[in-house]
Each structure stands twice: as structure tokens, then as C-alpha cells.
Chains A and B, each alone.
Chain A
Amino acid sequence: MRNTKGRNAFIFAFLSPAVLIYAVFLVWPLLQSFQMSMYRWRGVSRNRKFIGAENFNNLFQDPVFWKSLQNTGTLLVVAGIATIALGVLLAHLTDGDGAVRKFARAIYLFPQVISLVAVALIWQFQLNPKYGLVTDMLFRLGLPVRDPGIVRDPRYAFSAIAVAFVWHALGFFVLLFSAGLKQISGEIKEASALDGSEGWHRFRHVTWPLLWSVKRTAITYLLIHILTVFALVFVMTEGGPDRGTETIVSYLYEQIAKNGQYGYASALAVVVFGVSMVASLAVLAYFRKDPTAGARA
């Protein structure tokens, strides 16, 4: 049963404002920067020179590019596992009554609503070797964190970025998994009533598979937001020590800000864009079918 009268006109009228703004102010500049990846341009004048695939050739031979890609991937996996594991755990813990749980539910999104620049500053200050709170606590635990200092120490700097990212993002995942758990609580009860499972067994065989749609959202969100760690890297470590925390976007920023290589940076961005797209499509494909659909039917 479909209302077809004036359907096309309606579609057109409702879509055109969004399409227009999106096309003019996002897609068009984006295409222009794609085009830029085939030019040599220093970004300070209109002079630019077409050089074909040279930027890409140089990029694939650039060891720092591979290193930053690897760092970004590692961060995605480490931060991903940490946020999802902690998210699920804390979602269980915050579920229920009691003052602490209620308070927890009220504030766990705090770090999420802070500007990333502010998050980065807070962590930078906390990790300062002289007056940093976290440095002081870790030092008292016997860790050699005061020299050269956490953000400059090849042993700790990467973890520092990961921790700041998890601190910022975790609340969202707790929220997500809490919502997911609420949604499937009936199904969990049914299933466990049937096979009498509980505890870890129940989680492993009933709860975890049922959370599939939440997992999909979680991973999509991670993919999108892993690129934002740039602000953290930029403020806390500047990619150091010696490229130890260089991520793909901080390297891209270096090409623009330090080296004035806009064409090269655009080539980097095209690769980032391609990798993100492929990764997102892979996630979508993997989660396309509801694996629990059969069980539910």
C-alpha cells in the first residue's frame, strides 16, 4: 500500500536542501583535494604542478607512512578490545539499583562530552613528569615514569595515547552495551531458562551473540573515531618519541603544517579514505545477517 501521488516531487523537495549543502560544501571540496593528490602544491599560492602518481609512489616507499599506518591499526585493535571489553563489563556493573550505580550512570559520559583538545590537555597535565597526578601515582607504585617522562618514553607513550582515547570514548560504549543488554534481557532470560546456563557460560553463549547489532555500532563508531586521536597525539606527544605514536592523521598534518606538502598530504588522505571505506564495508558485510535470526524465529 503506497501513496504514489506526488511522490517524486516530495522526494525532491525533501532531499534537495541536504544534497545541495552536502554537495557544495563537502563533496566538492573533497573532490578537489582528491585531485590535489596528483599535484605538487605547497599551499601558499595558486602555483601547482601536475605530477600524476608520483605522490602515491613516494608514499608507498615512505617508511614513516607504513609505521604510522601500523600504529593506527594497533591503536584501533588495542583501544577497540579495551573499550569493548570494558564497555561490556561496566554495562553489567552499572546495571541495577543503588546509589553508586545510579551515580555511575549519571556521569560516565562526562569524558565524552569534553572537547578532545581539553581531553588531551588534561592528560598531558596528568602525565607531566613533575606535577602530573598519574605520573606521581605510578611512580609511587615503583614504575620508572619520571625519566624521560611518560609521553617521551618509548615504553609508555603509545599506551598513554591509548589510555586517553579509552578514557574519552569508554562512556559511549558502556551506554551502548547497557542499552543492548536492556533490549535483549527478555531473550536472555528465556534462553537461560531453557538450558539453565549462567555466569560466564551464559554470557559466552547467550548474551554475547545476541548483542550483534550493538557490536556492529560499536565497531563502526571505533572506525570513525580512531581518526580523531589526532587531537590527542597532536597535543600530548606530537607523534613522538621518534615516531613512536605517529598515526596516519598526525603524519598527514605534519605534511601540511611542517613540510607544506599539500599534494603529498592529499595522497595520504586518499589512502586513509580508501582504507576507512574498505574497513567499514567489511564491518557492514560481516554483520549483514543477524546471526541470531534463526534462533529467534
Chain B
Amino acid sequence: MKARQWIGTVALTAYLAVIVVPLVWVLISSLKTSPEIFASPWSLPAKPKFENYAAAWNEAGLAKYFWNSVLVTVGSLAALIPIGAMASYIFARYPFRGSKLLYAIFLGGMMFPNFLVLAPLTDLLRRLGLTESLVGLGIVYVAFSLSFTVFVLTGFFQSVPTELEEAAVLDGCGHLMVYRKIMLPLARPGLIVAAIFNGLGLWNEFNLALVLANSESIRTLPIGLANLTMARQYQADWGSVFAALVIVMLPAFVVYWRYRERIYEAMLAGAVKG
């Protein structure tokens, strides 16, 4: 028994090293000069080169992209979660003729490589006068995130016991009242999970933003990172590429760190039933 536990700890430590070492390595490399990076993977910088961060943040314009990302992520979530929750509630609790099919159509959206619809999508946005604006990108984000959101939230609403709802109806609550007073509070963990997962997904979204938000003023962070990586590759400034990587990863880590207990609990409570 002792030996087994010991082996377990070793295996677990190895797993943690596999996660942490690359990240720490990126962090250290972000403080090196290009020649230092090429000299040896293990070496520490002679002098930490914080200029790499300044180069990424200011020169390469990551600062602006950062706020664009915040804006479009938060804005999309603010629309997505209510809209997704309402639809999920119907799918979970109000079966009607064809509702199963409609649900399946919603889930089908997860099965499609999204850059294939880019050409018709840009045309559509142009007709609506929404090209080259964060609003257009945001609406598209809502549409493309609905599949996953409906998938997760329908599971949550299904897991709420029906007794509560029946009692409320007996008390004379209408449909809307039941939803607002009973279902929404009970499904709160689910809403948070949906918001976190979508938030992370949108924060990192690349394909759609690449084409739908390409003018300088509305570019988002992943595009900024990719542009920086490639532009810097043309100029061979590797340190600032690593620095940009850190800048992109950091907010995702912070959000995850802040909500990790909640993600864990929520998974435990609902998503597993999926």
C-alpha cells in the first residue's frame, strides 16, 4: 500500500512537471535575448530583458488588442448567456413537436470547422453594415457559441428536480416567474460554468476574428499574437514573441485561478450527467 502511494506521488509529480516546465520555460525565455534563446534551452538570461514585454505591449500594439479582446468577450457573454439560458430552459422543460430536432440542429453547430463559413459570413455582415466592427464580431460569436452553451445549460436545467417547479406552479407562478424565481437561481452554477468556458473560448478565438476583425483598430489579442509572432519572425525578435505568449496566457490563467473551485464543483454537479 505504501509503495503504491509512493509510486502514485511520483507519477503525479511527473505529470505536474509536464504541465509546469514548458510554461516556466516560456516565462524564462521571454526574458532572454534572441542569441541567448538560441544558445541553450536551459540557460538563464544574463540580465532579465523586460524590454521584450515593452516591445510586445507597446510597439507591437498588444495593449490595444488586449482591450478589444476584453470588450468583445464581455459583450458577447452578456448577450450569449441570457439568450442561451432561455433556449436551454425550453429544450429542457418544454418539449414540443420538433424540439428534439431543433436541439440536434443546435448541437450540430459544434461539428463544423468554422472558417469554412467565413466567405458567406463576411458577405452577410457587409449587407448588414457590420463589417469591421466589434459588434459584428460579437454577434457572430454569440451565434457560434450557442451550440456549446445550449448543450451545457440544457443539462443543468434537466438536473433541477421537477418538484420545485410543480410546487411553484401550484402557488400560481406563471412560466416567466418560475424561470426567474426558481430555475435561474438553481441553474446559477451552470450559468457560471457556461460563462467561464465560453469566456475562455472567445478570449482565445482565432479563425473568425482573423477575417471579421482585421482592421487595426478592432483587432483582438490572438490575432495580435499571431501577427506579432509572424512579424517578429520576419524580424527575428524571439524574446518578444515569448513575452507576447505570456501576455496572452496570463488573463486566462487568472480567470481560471479565480474560478477553479467553481469549475470543479460545477462539473461535479451537472456536466458529468451531460
- Interface of A with B (CB < 8 Å)? 1, 3, 5-8, 10-11, 14-15, 17-19, 21-22, 24-30, 32-33, 36, 43, 89-90, 92-94, 98, 100-101, 103-111, 113-118, 121-123, 125-126, 130-133, 135-136, 167, 171, 175-176, 178-180, 182-183, 213-214, 216-217, 220, 223-224, 227, 230-231, 249, 252-253, 256, 262, 265-266, 269, 272-273, 276-277, 280
Q: Which residues of chain B have C-beta atoms less than 8 A from A252's C-beta? A: 113, 116
B223 to chain A, nearest CB (A): 9
B175 to chain A, nearest CB (A): 4
Selected contact of A21 from candidates B41, B83, B222, CB within 8 Å = B83
Whether the Cβ atoms of B143 and A107 lie closer than 8 Å is no
Is residue B229 contacting chain A, with contact meaning CB distance below 8 A?
Answer: yes
Nearest chain-A residue to B128 (Cβ)? A24
How far, in angstroms, from A109 to B259 measured CA to CA in the complex?
A: 12
Q: Which residues of chain B have C-beta atoms less than 8 A from A36's C-beta? A: 119-120
Q: Which residues of chain A have C-beta atoms less than 8 A from B120's C-beta? A: 28-29, 32-33, 36
11 contacts between A and B (CB under 8 A): A10-B175, A22-B143, A29-B121, A109-B256, A109-B260, A117-B225, A130-B38, A133-B41, A179-B271, A253-B115, A269-B113
Whether the Cβ atoms of A167 and B18 lie closer than 8 Å is yes
Whether the Cβ atoms of B13 and A115 lie closer than 8 Å is no
How far, in angstroms, from A273 to B111 measured CA to CA in the complex?
A: 6
- Interface of B with A (CB < 8 Å)? 8-9, 11-13, 15-16, 18-23, 25-26, 29, 37-42, 83-84, 86-87, 89-90, 94, 96, 102, 105-106, 108-113, 115-117, 119-121, 124, 139-140, 142-144, 146, 150, 166, 169-170, 174-176, 178-179, 200, 203-204, 206, 222, 225-226, 229, 241-242, 245, 248-249, 252-253, 255-257, 260, 263-264, 267-268, 271-274
Beyond the given pairs A178-B264, A273-B111, 14 more chain A to chain B contacts, judged by CB atoms under 8 angstroms and listed by A's residue number, are A7-B175, A14-B87, A19-B102, A22-B109, A29-B124, A43-B119, A93-B11, A114-B249, A115-B252, A126-B22, A182-B268, A256-B116, A269-B112, A277-B108
Q: Which residues of chain A have C-beta atoms less than 8 A from B13's C-beta? A: 100
B84 to chain A, nearest CB (A): 6
Query: Would A25 and B143 be within 8 Å (CB), given that A118-B249, A175-B264 are in contact?
Result: yes
Whether the Cβ atoms of B139 and A21 lie closer than 8 Å is yes
How far, in angstroms, from A118 to B109 measured CA to CA in the complex?
A: 25
Query: Would A18 and B37 be within 8 Å (CB), given that A1-B166, A29-B120, A90-B12 are in contact?
Result: no
Q: Most chain-B Cβ atoms within 10 A of its Cβ — which of A30, A126, A214?
A: A30
Nearest chain-A residue to B40 (Cβ)? A131
Q: Which residues of chain B have C-beta atoms less than 8 A from A175's C-beta? A: 263-264, 267
Whether the Cβ atoms of B253 and A110 lie closer than 8 Å is yes
Q: Most chain-A Cβ atoms within 10 A of its Cβ — which of B139, B241, B245?
A: B245
Selected contact of B15 from candidates A90, A176, A217, A256, CB within 8 Å = A90
A113 to chain B, nearest CB (A): 4
Nearest chain-A residue to B151 (Cβ)? A220
Whether the Cβ atoms of A22 and B124 lie closer than 8 Å is no
Q: Which residues of chain B have C-beta atoms less than 8 A from A133's C-beta? A: 21-22, 25, 41-42
Q: Most chain-A Cβ atoms within 10 A of its Cβ — which of B174, B204, B226?
A: B204
Whether the Cβ atoms of A26 and B144 lie closer than 8 Å is yes
Nearest chain-B residue to A133 (Cβ)? B41
How far, in angstroms, from A10 to B153 measured CA to CA in the complex?
A: 18
Q: Which residues of chain A have C-beta atoms less than 8 A from B222's C-beta? A: 115, 117
Selected contact of A132 from candidates B8, B41, B274, CB within 8 Å = B41
Q: Most chain-B Cβ atoms within 10 A of its Cβ — which of A17, A24, A101, A130?
A: A17
Whether the Cβ atoms of B26 and A122 lie closer than 8 Å is yes
A148 to chain B, nearest CB (A): 18
Whether the Cβ atoms of B12 and A214 lie closer than 8 Å is no
B232 to chain A, nearest CB (A): 11
Query: Would A25 and B83 be within 8 Å (CB), given that A3-B175, A179-B268, A183-B272 are in contact?
Result: no
Nearest chain-A residue to B241 (Cβ)? A121
Q: Which residues of chain B have C-beta atoms less than 8 A from A28's C-beta? A: 120, 124
Q: Which residues of chain B have C-beta atoms less than 8 A from A277's C-beta? A: 108, 111
Nearest chain-B residue to A128 (Cβ)? B41
